[in-house]
Each structure stands twice: as C-alpha cells, then as structure tokens.
Amino acid sequence: MRRTKPLRIALSALLVAGVSAGFAPVPAGAAAPADEKAPASGAMLAAMQRDFGLTKSQAEARLSAEKKATAVEGKARRVAGSSYGGAWFTPESGRLTVAVTDPNKAAAVRSTGAEAELVKYSAKQLDATKERIDALKAPKGVASWHVDPASNRIVIETLAGRQGDNDVRHFLAQAREAGPVIVEKTAHAPRTLAAGTVGGDPYYTGNVRCSIGFSVNGGFVTAGHCSGAGASVNGWDGSYIGNFQGSSFPDNDYAWVNVGSGWWTVPVVLGWGTVPDQLVRGSAEAPIGASICRSGSTSHWHCGNVLAKNETVNYSQGAVHEMTKTNVCAEPGDSGGSFISGDQAQGVTSGGWGDCSGGGETWYQPINEILNRYGLTLTTA
C-alpha cells in the first residue's frame, strides 16, 4: 500500500538527512562502546530465529556473546601488539579467538577474555601479502581474495572450471610468490546489485535503482557503483532528494548523497514489515563469525554471518578492495543498502552472487571507511 511521503520518511531507514530531537551524530569512524547496555530488539531476535533456526533465548545469548566479543577484540589486539594475527568469533562456543605469533603474548590475550592461538604470520605480514596480490592484475577466472586469520593465510577463490586457464595459473603463481596463500573454488562470479528502474522503491539515479545505506550528517551513504559524483537522486515517490557528492568505483564501492528538498535523516534501518525498523546507535565493527542483517529495497530484510574481512572482489568492472564478505542473500536493487549487527552500523551492500530464494553471498564496504574518507558523521539514536 502506498504511504504518504511524510509517513514513509518517518518510518523509513531509507530516507535520510535532517535533524530530529534526540538524534546525536557520532564523529567519523567513531564507534559506540560495545559494552554499553543496549537491549536486543524483538525485530533482531525474530530475524535471527528465522534465519539461524534459533530459539529466542539462544538468539539473546548469541547477541550477548557477540557484543562481548566486539568489546574484547580491541583490548586483545592492544595487548597482542605486533604479535596480533587477527581474530574470529565462533558461534558454537560464543568465544572470540585471537591469533598471536609470540607465545609470550598468549597469556595477556587470554586475560582479556579471548582465546589465544599461536600462528606463524602476524596480521601485518598477511596484510602486506594481500597488498602485493592487490597490485597484480587479476583475470576473470579469479573471483576474490582475503586475509583469513583462522588459516593464517590469504584465501584466493577461483571460478570452478577456470583453474587451468593460463592467466589464472600465472596469477596464482605470482600470488604464491607474494606470501602464504590457499586456493579455493567457487561456482559463482561476483556481480554488483544495482537494478533498472521499477516503481515503489527507495531511490533512483538515471535508469538505476539502488538502496540507501545509513544516514550521515547532511545526507546518506550508499554504493559507489550506483552512480558518479554530481548525479541527481530521486526518492521512492519520484521527488528530488539531492546529488551524489562523492563516489568511488571500482577500487572502492562507496558514495554519499546530500539530502534536502523536504527529505531528512533518521538513525533507522528499515525493517520492511518483516521486522520493526531498527535504530542505529553506533558503528562498532563486528568480528568474523558474528551475526549480521541486511536491509535492501528488493529483497528487504535478511540475516547471516560475517565470513571474511579485507577481501578483494574482482568484479567485471574491476577489483574492489577491503570488502567484508557475508552469507546474507541479496538481489539486484539491494546495492547500497544497510548491513547492521545488533544496533551497530557495519557497511553498505556492494555485490554478491545468488538470490534470496536459493541463497548466496554478499560483500559490503565497511561504514567506518566511508565516514573517514568523506569526513562524515553517522546519525545515531
């Protein structure tokens, strides 16, 4: 049913920018302390019960464990120092594991509440290896690559049936010279998730429909592949919202749009009637293994897990770096939409494979990188 514009905006996480009493901005890149008391919403619990097959009490326990892990990760990283090798959350145990290269640091890491695992390579070494691989020209038979702290390697995904291609073999040989890698197969090539214009959806630019990510000071953030700087943006009702003020794609996949002409920002992610709309309270980064949910204008609200961070995704348009991978499904038109963990903003939808009927994977560009890049502040409740 079509709602009037004022009501749609008031309820929507999609429509952004403006001021409202009680909404306070967070400085760019800042994150609300993860140990602050914030009850899980019924919407988040319901979505986790649906998508993970959990009971309400199990969902509550997992969110509590993830919130603790998010707080512990920063402390453990500080005490590990240069020995830090990455971290990941294990849902079955509800524990955060932190990799260290120095056995003398293990006790200090455990004192923070995390598990400690001895590894060969530090996070700094793995990141340097990935940077060397990023500098290579990836062929179409290579889907993506990322730092995997659990295996202490760079995981490179190649398309099934393409491993024997000369250009793929050459890329992998160069990657192995760069540092420690593991090669895995995937049946799916990554693609962006923009869509042609259809009626009744959040925003349009040219003949493309995409989804709004998060409200920031003066506008909203979204995906860079949706349009370039200067492009005009119209809302779900066809009225003018603003223009792309900055946009980067490929290499990155982020953008921000200024908001005016009767539109304003609210610290909300739209639940699309599947769950109630979600308040945004900060941008503390969830660890690998944590639960995460996505809101988009095509497939609406779905949840899954964080699978990997700092992944380079090789789209047909070019490689995009420092992405986070999830097993949350998405479909064309969901590009730019919100990824949120608990009440913490995580990033904007970039692309993926599959759909919400058969499943799939998606990548998002982390929110704090976007805020820092453009000097924006996240609008929070």
pLDDT in tens, 340-373: 999 999 999 999 999 999 999 999 999 999 999 9
Which is more confident, 96 or 196? Answer: 96
Pick left, alpha or beta for residue 110 (phi over 0 → left; psi -120 to 50 → alpha; otherwise beta): alpha
Mean pLDDT of 263-288: 89
CB 300, CB 272: distance < 8 Å: yes
Q: What's the pLDDT score for residue 143? A: 95
Which is more confident, 35 or 85? Answer: 85
- Give the least confident one: 94-103, 197-206, 308-317: 197-206
CB atoms within 10 A of CB 133: 22
Mean pLDDT of 26-43: 42
Establish whether 357 is a catalytic residue: no
pLDDT at 318 over 80: yes
H/E run at residue 315: strand 300-315
pTM above 0.85, yes or no: no
Q: What's the pLDDT score for residue 33? A: 36
Which is more confident, 122 or 264? Answer: 122
Question: Judging by DSSP bridges, how do beta strands 240-248 and 254-258 pair with one another?
Answer: antiparallel
Q: What's the pLDDT score for residue 48? A: 86
pLDDT at 52 over 60: yes
Q: What's the pLDDT score for residue 28? A: 30
Alpha-carbon distance 323 to 359, whole Å?
20
Single out the catalytic residue among 144, 146, 211, 225. 225
CB 111, CB 100: distance < 8 Å: no
pLDDT at 265 over 90: no
Average pLDDT, the chain: 86
Q: Which long-range contacts (CB under 8 A, 24 or more apart) does 237-240 make?
A: 237/5, 237/8, 238/204, 239/5, 239/263
Side-chain-side CA neighbours of residue 356 (13 Å): 20
Establish whether 82 is a catalytic residue: no
Torsion of CA 325, 328, 332, 335, to 10 degrees: -50
Which is more confident, 350 or 40? Answer: 350
With 0-12 CB in 10 A as exposed, 13-18 as middle and 19+ as buried, what is 267?
buried
Peptide bond into 250 cis (omega under 30): yes
Mean pLDDT of 207-229: 94
Confidence band, pLDDT 50/70/90 cuts, at residue 67 = very high
pLDDT at 147 over 60: yes
pLDDT at 25 over 50: no
Single out the catalytic residue among 83, 335, 341, 350. 335
pLDDT at 9 over 50: no
SS3 87: strand
CB 222, CB 210: distance < 8 Å: yes
pLDDT at 6 over 70: no
Q: What's the pLDDT score for residue 40? A: 60
Q: In residues, how long is the chain?
A: 381
Confidence band, pLDDT 50/70/90 cuts, at residue 201 = low
CB 345, CB 364: distance < 8 Å: no
Confidence band, pLDDT 50/70/90 cuts, at residue 266 = confident
Single out the catalytic residue among 51, 201, 253, 334. 253
CB 95, CB 114: distance < 8 Å: yes
Alpha-carbon distances, residue 286 vs 31, 67, 89, 178, 293 (angstroms):
11, 8, 9, 29, 12
Percent of the chain residues topping a pLDDT of 90: 73
- Give the least confident one: 11-20, 54-63, 191-200, 255-264: 11-20
Establish whether 35 is a catalytic residue: no
- Give the least confident one: 21-25, 198-202, 291-295: 21-25
pLDDT at 102 over 70: yes
